[in-house]
Each structure stands twice: as structure tokens, then as C-alpha cells.
């Protein structure tokens, strides 16, 4: 568990509000990820989990609140600039380009970089870690299985050399054995120093993996803590399933 009194914050989200028209998707969300930490956000469908990652990645524009990375605000930065400062997102559904080859998909991950020799070295290292990508190098990515596509999406994101890797539902649609494989890869990346912000509907998997977990329901954060702290809390199930008092109304 990360000791927040000593750890340096990497990502801070303060009082974040996001609306889609008149619908409040996020309501005053505040969280942090420290350097080298794994943080999970869990909750039911429609809780706002993907919106939260989209706001950090620059895909969604907040109505109110602040996001800082490495102590610097992200407001006003383009998606490409956010990639350059060290944040990479593996989106829900992976979003690989099915008609492009595995090689071409990977090369897209390095488009923000100009250090060609280092890119080649990183691709060599990543295809060593993900041998199926080397084996399918010239094949269209659409022919990969769901688990193989997830490996491709993670490898593509890692080519940005992120300090923070964000993943949106990495286990979605995968068989249990493939989920185990994906999480093994994430553990290896974390062991090498990459901080991870993970959105998961599979609460048990997220709690086992993360240093700390936040519960998001109806756009508002409820409980947070370590696996043991949350499982021991009498309100854990109510918080996860959104039972009880509604979140505060969106401010004007």
C-alpha cells in the first residue's frame, strides 16, 4: 500500500464535473494516483468510469474541476500533448485497426515519437514480451483473438513510454484464462515502474490487483481504500451497487 504522507502524487483529479447535455456523468470526483501505484475504479454500468478516463486523456471536456499530472495542469492540452507528457489510454473495446497489420498498429503507437532507433528497440522488447504479436506480425489485427487484441492494445500504448497507463475494462469479453494472462502482463509492467489507473466492472479482480480502489456510482465517488479496508466495510456492497442516498446534485 502506498503511504500518501510520503509518496509523490502523479495524477490528481479535483472536484471534477462532466456533463453530456443535461446529464451529469461525473459529480465532484476527486482522486489521486501516486508514482508507481496501481489504482482501480470500480462500479456498475453507467457509473461514469469511462468518462473519468476520457477526461484525463483529453477525450472529454470537463465542465468544472482540475486535473494535474506531475504537478502541472492538463487543461488546454491536446490529446497528443497529453500522450507526450506520459499518459496513455487503452480504451474499452481496444480500438485496434482491424484491416491494418499488427506491425502497422504497433507503429501507430509511436507516432508522437521521433527517436527511430529507440522505437525499434522498444518494438523488439515488446514483441519479446508479447510473442503472439511477433508471430502474427504481418497479419491483419482483426484476425487476432480478443485476448491477443488486448495484448496489441497494451503494447501499442506502451510505445508512448507512459508514466501512467490507463485501461478501460481490460477484462471485458475475455475468457478467464485470457484475463489471467492480461493481468499477469499488467503486473509485469507495474513491477517495472509504470503507474496504472484501471477501470473495471469486475470488482474482485480489481481489488486483488490494485493498491487502492475507488467505488464510483452514478457519477460520484463513494468508498475508497485497500482491498481489505473495502471488503471489511459494512457499506461496501451498497456503495458498489449504488444503494442508499443519491449523489449530490450538479452545481450550477
Q: What is the mean pLDDT of residues 164-185?
A: 89
Quote the pLDDT of residue 247: 43
Cα–Cα dist 132/185, whole Å? 13
The boundaries of the domain holding residue 203 are 9-94+162-240
Residue 89 domain flag: yes
Closest by CA position to 29, among listed 3, 59, 65: 65
Secondary structure in 3-state letters for 18-74: EEECCEEEEEEEEEEEECCCEEEEECCCCCCHHHHHHHHHCCCCCCEEEEEECCEEC
Q: How confident is the model at residue 41 (pLDDT cuts 50, 70, 90)?
A: very high
185-207 mean pLDDT: 92
- Average pLDDT (120-142) is 93
Q: Give the pLDDT score at 153.
A: 93
Kindly report, residue by residue over 225-237, the tens digit of the pLDDT.
999 999 898 888 8
149 found inside a domain: no
Q: Is residue 108 part of a domain?
A: no
CA separation for the pair 171, 119 (Å, rounded) = 28
- Predicted confidence at residue 175, as pLDDT, reads 86
Crossing angle, helix 116-129 and helix 146-158, to 10 degrees? 150
Residue 147 lies inside a defined structural domain of this protein? no
How many Å apart are CA 205 and CA 81, to the nearest integer?
A: 32
Q: In what order do the strands lie in the sheet with 212-217?
A: 87-90, 164-168, 195-200, 38-42, 212-217, 220-225
What pLDDT band is residue 146 in, cutting at 50, 70 and 90? Answer: confident
- Closest among 115, 209, 94 to 159, alpha carbons compared: 115
Q: Tell me whether residue 100 is in a domain.
A: no
Reported pTM: 0.88
Is 136 contained in some domain? no
195 within domain boundaries = yes
Which of 3, 44, 33, 72 shows the shortest CA–CA distance to 166?
33
Q: How far apart are CA 239 and CA 41, in angstroms?
A: 12
**What pLDDT band is residue 6 in, cutting at 50, 70 and 90?**
low
* pLDDT tier for residue 250 given thresholds of 50, 70 and 90: very low
* 78 falls within a domain: yes
pLDDT higher than threshold 60 for residue 30: yes
Q: For the chain, what is the domain count?
A: 1
What CATH number has the domain bearing residue 67?
3.40.50.300
Strand partners, 90: 167
Q: Is the pLDDT of residue 98 over 70?
A: yes
Amino acid at each position: 500500500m502506498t503511504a500518501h504522507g510520503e509518496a509523490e502524487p502523479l495524477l490528481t483529479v479535483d472536484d471534477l464535473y462532466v456533463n453530456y447535455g443535461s446529464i451529469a456523468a461525473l459529480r465532484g470526483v476527486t482522486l489521486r494516483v501516486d508514482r508507481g501505484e496501481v489504482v482501480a475504479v470500480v462500479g456498475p454500468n453507467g457509473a461514469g468510469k469511462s468518462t473519468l478516463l476520457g477526461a484525463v486523456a483529453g477525450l472529454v471536456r470537463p465542465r468544472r474541476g482540475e486535473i494535474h499530472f506531475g504537478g502541472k495542469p492538463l487543461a488546454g492540452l491536446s490529446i497528443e500533448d497529453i500522450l507526450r507528457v506520459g499518459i496513455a489510454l487503452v480504451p474499452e473495446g481496444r480500438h485496434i485497426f482491424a484491416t491494418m497489420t499488427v506491425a502497422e498498429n504497433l507503429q501507430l503507437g509511436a507516432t508522437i515519437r521521433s527517436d527511430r532507433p529507440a522505437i525499434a528497440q522498444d518494438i523488439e522488447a515488446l514483441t519479446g514480451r508479447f510473442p503472439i504479436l511477433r508471430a502474427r506480425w504481418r497479419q491483419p489485427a482483426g484476425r487476432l483473438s480478443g485476448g491477443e487484441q488486448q495484448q496489441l492494445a497494451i503494447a501499442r500504448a506502451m510505445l508512448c513510454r507512459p508514466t501512467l497507463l490507463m485501461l478501460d475494462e481490460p477484462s471485458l469479453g475475455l475468457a478467464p484464462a485470457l484475463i489471467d494472462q492480461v493481468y499477469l502482463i499488467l503486473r509485469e509492467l507495474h513491477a517495472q515502474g509504470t503507474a496504472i489507473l484501471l477501470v473495471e466492472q469486475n470488482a474482485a479482480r480489481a481489488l486483488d490487483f490494485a493498491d487502492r480502489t475507488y467505488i464510483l456510482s452514478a457519477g460520484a465517488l463513494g468508498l475508497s481504500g485497500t482491498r481489505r479496508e473495502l471488503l471489511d466495510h459494512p457499506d461496501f456492497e451498497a456503495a458498489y451497487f449504488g444503494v442508499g442516498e443519491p449523489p449530490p446534485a450538479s452545481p450550477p
